[in-house]
Structure 1
């Protein structure tokens, strides 16, 4: 098994506490405070908790919508620290693993930025089966999707400044 790692850093005008709540804790609540930030019926059909209470060990199943190239994935929350704005989880099942990956692990940390906003640093590790190599365009696409979602949430919060006050 090989491990391919990449890191991403994205800045935001939103403070870490507010961004963590929206980007990490509430992003998969389809009817929650972030409605319509992504065309949800096309992007995500539903999210269900299969096991756990939302903390470490929780397993979620995300079923994608008609516009996704994947049908579903399951992810397991490895760690969550609401006070230090850190979150880690692993994709453990689903067609997003493409029969070439054992799992994909993510670690996210939000820290304050000098302008009063936040910096999101994330680390992604692809755990491959055998000697399979991850192509650069796959990594680039994953980075773009993650950064894009972060920016969509930021835009929503900028347009709705009373959210999470």
Structure 2
């Protein structure tokens, strides 16, 4: 049986926690195709209302090593800006990865910005090994999501000023 792999990561943002949480976590399926069309071809909620127990599906361009992924939002606390999701299909599930979860908490900072705290864990398929470059690439991709949302929110100060 393959050993689990995990990492933690923090991303500092000048954007207020509620805005970044709603844009980059809760509504990323809407924003991703608009903000990153060279990477995300389309995305939508396929089951549920976009909150806990919902399933979201993202389809990628040829820039990505896989064509799609589905994730289930297992837990969402919109008041504490926390979420937990599980990768359930695509993105290497059944090929490289047996299971993968992402826990996100967006914490307000005294200066009006926030810190995104991420815990990611996966159980690799038997015989699969991951190196530091691959783990750093995953962190870089996740940072890219939050920094892209941050840029959008700075450029659009009214966007996500009220919870969705």
Would you call these one fold, judging by a TM-score over 0.5? yes
Once the two structures are superposed, residues 66-117 of structure 1 have per-residue CA deviations (whole angstroms, 9 ceiling, x without a partner) of: 3222111111111111000001101121143371211211000001112110
- The secondary structure found in structure 1 opposite 2:139 is helix
Structure 1 unaligned regions, length at least 5: none
What is the CA distance between 1:129 and its match in structure 2?
Answer: 2.0
Cα pair 1:72 1:96 within 8 Å, conserved: no
Alignment of 1:77 with 2:73, yes or no, is yes
Matching of residues 69-148 of structure 1 within 5 Å = 69-97=65-93, 99-148=95-144
In 2, the alpha carbon distance for the partners of 1:104 and 1:161 equals: 34
- The secondary structure found in structure 2 opposite 1:99 is coil
- The secondary structure found in structure 1 opposite 2:129 is coil
Cα pair 2:94 2:125 within 8 Å, conserved: no
In 2, the alpha carbon distance for the partners of 1:90 and 1:114 equals: 31
* Corresponding residue of 2:21: 20
Cα pair 1:93 1:103 within 8 Å, conserved: no
Q: Which segments of structure 1 move beyond 4 Å, counting only runs of 4 or more?
A: none
* Corresponding residue of 2:12: 11
Alignment of 1:163 with 2:159, yes or no, is yes
TM-score, scaled to structure 1 = 0.88
What is the CA distance between 1:151 and its match in structure 2?
Answer: 0.8
Cα pair 1:63 1:71 within 8 Å, conserved: yes
RMSD over aligned Cα atoms? 1.9
Alignment of 1:37 with 2:35, yes or no, is yes
- The secondary structure found in structure 2 opposite 1:162 is coil
In 1, the alpha carbon distance for the partners of 2:120 and 2:3 equals: 13
